[in-house]
Amino acid sequence: MKHPFNAAKQKAGKAWLQEFLQRHPTISVQNPKATSLSSAVGFNKPNVMKFFELLKSELCKHPYSADRVWNAVTTVQVPGKVLARKGQKQVGRITSAERGGNITVICAVNAAGTYVPPMLIFKKKCMTQLLMAGTPVGSVGYARASGWVNSELFIKWLEHFIAFAKPSKDKKVILIIDGHASHKTLEAVDCAERVELYLYA
């Protein structure tokens, strides 16, 4: 398409953006919430309904207190700003889970508000404790060339979580995780089953 943008860069400049925003006062530049591609693809009505049916079934079987229901989150890189309607509460942008950020953080919080000290995965070949300066007490750190979590590191985080949450037959624990491939391995399931930890992805 023919356009009046920069001929070399083939994209609009700041002047065009300013004029565009003046012509459309209901639109503003906002910081979106990053959403990984795998999460976006898996987020559909049948999958969501199945997830809540399984979770409800488990919650009906055993009396879980608020401190025994956990949600784990793995951060993805922060995308650039986008244009969105003013006042819009949820602004998202699909990002690749394999590209971007230098540090991955895996953290978990329970329904009572308690959190597990996070795991940080640095985009480094060798780990040094200097990288952990200023992190919450009890945090753990690992180095990986890509800076992203894999199945082996997720098992290490799962063991870290188990040591903190202390699931047992008498005090079962539910851990809600996303559907990332590194979280859905036989090793992860075996690790959880050994200590009465129920994983929901």
46/33: higher pLDDT: 46
Where in the chain are the domains?
A: 43-78+95-200
* Residue 160 reports pLDDT greater than 90: yes
The dotted CATH code for 43-78+95-200 is: 3.30.420
* 174: CB partners within 8 A, 6+ apart: 55, 58, 59, 64, 68, 69, 70, 198, 200
180/119: higher pLDDT: 119
74/54: higher pLDDT: 54
Question: 48-52, long-range: CB within 8 Å, 24+ apart, which pairs?
Answer: 51/200
Q: How much of the chain exceeds pLDDT 90, in percent?
A: 22
- Residue 55 confidence class, pLDDT cut points 50, 70, 90: confident
* Residue 185 reports pLDDT greater than 70: yes
Using CA atoms of 152, 158, 117, 172 in order, give the dihedral in degrees to the nearest 10.
180
Decide: helix, strand or coil at residue 152: helix
Residue pair 200/175 in contact by the 8 Å Cβ criterion? yes
Query: How confident is the model at residue 100, as a pLDDT?
Result: 45
* Residue 98 reports pLDDT greater than 80: no
Residue 119 to residue 158: CA distance in whole angstroms: 10
Query: How confident is the model at residue 114, as a pLDDT?
Result: 94
* Residue 6 reports pLDDT greater than 90: no
* Residue 94 reports pLDDT greater than 50: no
Question: Mean pLDDT of all residues in the chain?
Answer: 80
Tokens of 23: 């012509």
Query: How confident is the model at residue 200, as a pLDDT?
Result: 67
**pTM exceeds cut of 0.85:** no
